[in-house]
């Protein structure tokens, strides 16, 4: 997206290798304002260092920190580094796929839930990838099994790099659908 002197805004759409539009018609095109991306209230992201190719994240500016659904959380030490191993079900309303993740523990601190309850949570640092941008975020690990989204991106994760359009979803597109085996 760019501004010209006439005040018009030009939008660019991603294309595939043949130059055809790579977007589905019902998905808004990704745009930027200055150096900040505009994102919807929910987006598909990946967490490459955790081996999570696609996870639907709710962009929650009401939450300070970001959170990832995790269970079977266990801490251990490797070469003097405190680590955490945990399992993730990356798809909403499904426990069919389990990804085992490991990461260094960044911090352990008290977090207040939306219901007002405080609890100690493990924080990790990991990369989030969306469209052509990758950045590091702090994630708390929490059992979000009963929640609508397996991941929340809080305001600290998007501050200064993204603007949220609450009436739109999936500016970054959707992951390709798996082909059914016959």
**CATH number of the domain residue 39 falls in:** 2.40.70.10
How confident is the model at residue 30, as a pLDDT? 80
The span from the CA of 35 to the CA of 32, in Å, is 6
> How would you class 157 by CB atoms within 10 Å of its CB: exposed for 0-12, middle for 13-18, buried for 19 or more?
buried
- Residue 179 falls inside a structural domain: no
- Residue 180 falls inside a structural domain: no
pTM of model > 0.85:
no
- Residue 176 falls inside a structural domain: no
- Residue 82 falls inside a structural domain: yes
Q: Which residues of the chain carry a pLDDT beneath 50?
A: 1-4, 6-24
Task: Confirm if 86 and 71 have CB atoms less than 8 A apart.
Answer: yes
- Residue 170 falls inside a structural domain: no
How confident is the model at residue 181, as a pLDDT? 65
- Residue 172 falls inside a structural domain: no
- Residue 157 falls inside a structural domain: yes
Domain hosting residue 60, numbered range: 2-112+119-165
- Residue 19 falls inside a structural domain: yes
Per the structure, how many domains does the chain have? 1
How confident is the model at residue 151, as a pLDDT? 96
Retrieve residue 59's tokens: 């962009």
């Amino acid at each position: 997206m760019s501004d010209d002197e006439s005040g018009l805004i030009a939008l660019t759409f991603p294309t595939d290798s043949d130059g055809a539009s790579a977007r589905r018609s019902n998905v808004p095109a990704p745009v930027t304002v200055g150096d900040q991306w505009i994102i919807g209230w929910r987006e598909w992201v990946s967490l490459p260092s955790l081996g999570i190719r696609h996870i639907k994240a709710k962009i929650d500016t009401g939450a300070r920190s970001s959170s990832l659904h995790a269970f079977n959380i266990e801490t251990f030490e490797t070469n003097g580094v405190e680590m955490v191993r945990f399992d993730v079900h990356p798809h909403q309303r499904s426990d069919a796929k389990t990804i085992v993740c490991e990461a260094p523990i960044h911090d352990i601190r008290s977090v207040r839930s939306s219901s007002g309850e405080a609890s100690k949570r493990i924080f990790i640092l990991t990369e989030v990838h969306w469209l052509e941008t990758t950045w590091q975020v702090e994630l708390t690990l929490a059992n979000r099994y009963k929640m609508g989204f397996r991941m929340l991106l809080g305001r600290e994760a998007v501050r200064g790099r993204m603007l949220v359009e609450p009436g739109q979803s999936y500016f970054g597109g959707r992951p390709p659908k798996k082909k059914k085996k016959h």
